[in-house]
A = this chain, B = another copy of it.
Amino acid sequence: MAISLYKSSVPIFVQFLTALSAVLDKAAAHAEARKIDPSVLLNTRLTPDMFPLLRQVRAATDHAINASGRLAGVDLPTFSNNEATIPELKERIAKTIDFLRGLKAAQIDGAEEKEIKITFPSGATREFTGQSLLLNNSLPNFYFHCTTAYDILRQCGVELGKRDFMGTPVQM
């Protein structure tokens, strides 16, 4: 017995992206209650050479899509990459979740040893197996960006707790 590659990826991404979308709702409510322009929150960074919140959210969706889509061997959805409002970011998350929900376990299970070559924006390439892509690269990066998005909003004073980050496990 072992863990299904599908169950280690798709439902996990859906759980934490759903939670991230709800965290953005709380950010929107916080901004409205305090008459803060939501774009101030979206452009907040923990330090000048880290991505602002809106890029953290985009990166989280990218890692979920890139991992799941490559494991399944399907075309990846694309985005404008110029989302600049909370509704636009929530739309991007929703589109990502739709894509993930459209993938079947049979498309992903079995891709554990599949060779996947990735070309990074820098031009560098790296070869993974399906399993190493998910475990050593995509999940840690995904959690990194979800956590940092949460951390930025906590620092901005949005009332959030760990449960908001964790969300609720989904049955898929």
Contacts and interface: CB of A to CB of B under 8 A. Distances in A.
Majority-rule SS of A interface residues: helix
A50 interface: yes
Contacts of A98: none
Given A4-B2, A131-B3, A143 B147 contact: yes
A33 interface: no
Contacts of A87: none
Contacts of A132: 169
A89 to B, nearest CB: 20
Contacts of A150: 144
Given A132-B169, A143-B140, A147-B147, A112 B154 contact: no
A46 B147 contact: no
